[in-house]
Amino acid sequence: MTAPRIQGGFSFLEGPVWVADGGYLLMSDMAAGTGPYNVQPSTIRRFTPPATFDTFIANAGSNGLALSADAQQVVAATHDQRSVSAYRLSDRTRSTIAANYQGRAFNSPNDVAVRSDGVVYFTDPNFQRGNRADQMSGRTSVFRVSGGQVSLVDDRLRQPNGIALSPDGTALYVGAYSENKIYKYAVQPDGSTGARSVFVNYIGGPDGATIDCAGNVYWASGSDSLVHVYSPAGTQLGTIRAGTSGTTNVAFGGPDRQTLYVTSGPRNDSGLYSVRLNIPGYPY
């Protein structure tokens, strides 16, 4: 299956998220690193179907995006401040969800997932840390934020990247980019995580991910430019191609949530692609 391109020519698109109330898609567009610390500027762009693109938040500093549990804010992995932030959709004001872990700066938060009760999970590789000092002792980790408290989920992963929750909130999936593995964690009712298992031994560098209403997992691959689709048991169901290089992330959207949006393409010609599927994404 192939997803046609809607528009290209962007710097480097990431983190698509559908905002149902407004009927639009938000995504991060990251430029090349700049300044003494070589930090990548990022703009949140808005796509309103069928063909309108505009700037939603300039200088957002964001990579991965997700909706808050009440759908009033976009939760953003923000590498500009090495934090996790929330931007209120109504007035685009910014607040901080996670500033540090035990007083130490994160590397460069990359992607986020939000449970229906508001618990936030995020990955912290070092891809956008630039020249800023490492305060994590070489570790790249997954964290959880609950009730304003930041807790460690796992610091054994090499470059954790995409992250997603099962529809019932009992399983957390994390792609370890530098291991070519997707891990699965049992999630307890309070949001804490239990045993870790290998969900998929992956080919091609797992980047961003999304999940449909049946619990199937859609994982974007950085190196083979495909979106790999897996059943909840980890069986590969198929692939979706978007462009020829650099597929970064995926999100369901549209009025019936049956449009899969894909961000893909080489730097400085990154594009947004879409394909209609016969199953809606979660939440529906």
Per-residue model confidence as pLDDT tens digits over 95-112: 999 999 999 999 999 999
The tens digit of pLDDT for each residue in 112-134 reads 999 999 999 999 999 999 999 99
Question: What are the beta bridge partners of residue 142?
Answer: 123, 154
Maximum separation of any 2 CA atoms in the chain, in Å: 48
pLDDT of residue 284: 61
On the question of pLDDT at 30 being above 70, the answer is yes
With tokens 């898609």, the residue in question is: 25
* Residue bearing the bigger pLDDT, 260 or 202: 260
pLDDT of residue 244: 83
pLDDT of residue 249: 97
Q: What is the pTM of this model?
A: 0.97
Q: Which residue, 61, 63, 54, is CA-closest to 122?
A: 63
Q: Which residues contact 118 (CB under 8 A, 6 or more apart)?
A: 68, 69, 70, 146
Write the burial class of residue 234 (CB in 10 Å: 0-12 exposed, 13-18 middle, 19+ buried).
middle
On the question of pLDDT at 225 being above 80, the answer is yes
| Rounded-to-integer distance, Cα 92 and Cα 87, Å | 5
Q: What is the mean pLDDT of the chain?
A: 96
Percent of the chain surpassing pLDDT 90: 94
On the question of pLDDT at 224 being above 90, the answer is no
Contact 30, 14 (CB under 8 A): yes
Give the amino acid at 128.
Answer: Q
